[in-house]
Chains A and B, each alone.
Chain A
Amino acid sequence: KAGVTQTPRYLIKTRGQQVTLSCSPISGHRSVSWYQQTPGQGLQFLFEYFSETQRNKGNFPGRFSGRQFSNSRSEMNVSTLELGDSALYLCASSFSGGGPEQYFGPGTRLTVT
């Protein structure tokens, strides 16, 4: 069974630009969650999508948005990039959401210059 895949793995963007990250969940999984990992803040929950609907949202500004497609693939978008958005962005998938069934991808390393 293929794991969670994230593309691209590495990305360098300039302040003010926007970026789109992609996550393909494990086949059959309907929940996709996104997390931001930074050295100072650890892993912070961004949002969760379940069956194409945003089910939960973390405490991030509106510049961070996401969506989920009918095949459960998910994208997150960050507009007007700031230096502080440099981080590892992780997505996790599960069949129904959360718990030990949540499998993480390897992440996308975003660097904003």
Chain B
Amino acid sequence: DQQVKQNSPSLSVQEGRISILNCDYTNSMFDYFLWYKKYPAEGPTFLISISSIKDKNEDGRFTVFLNKSAKHLSLHIVPSQPGDSAVYFCAASAYGGSQGNLIFGKGTKLSVKP
């Protein structure tokens, strides 16, 4: 049973446009969510996070939205750049992010075309 789901394995976007990556979760105990970016042959790199007490968090070109009632979060990248092409993982924690046992989705491969 997959507790964190990223239903789109891949996404292709034109440079300068918005990229929207989606993530759904099933466990109501999750209270902290994170997005990671991963390039081939490298470990994941933290992008942005959000606590369940918020519904939006912004950091530069990256914004994460959380809809608790729908158990859904999304990552918006505006504007998208070719360097954003990578695999994006959504992750969740039931401990307010205070412990190192993150539950990850399977990832979405984003391709940003020039």
Contacts and interface: CB of A to CB of B under 8 A. Distances in A.
Q: Do A and B bind each other?
A: yes
Interface of A: 4, 31-33, 35, 41-45, 48, 50, 55-56, 58, 90, 92, 94, 96-100, 102-107
A44 B104 contact: yes
A56 B106 CA distance: 21
B43 A104 contact: yes
Interface of B: 32, 34, 36, 41-46, 49, 89, 91, 93, 95-107
Nearest to A102: B100
- A contacts with B: majority SS: strand
Closest 3 CB pairs of A and B: A104-B43, A99-B97, A42-B106
B24 to A, nearest CB: 14
30 contacts: A31-B100, A32-B100, A33-B100, A35-B104, A41-B106, A42-B89, A42-B104, A42-B106, A43-B44, A43-B89, A43-B104, A56-B99, A56-B101, A92-B100, A94-B100, A96-B98, A98-B32, A98-B95, A98-B100, A98-B102, A99-B93, A99-B96, A99-B97, A99-B98, A100-B34, A100-B97, A102-B46, A104-B43, A106-B41, A106-B43
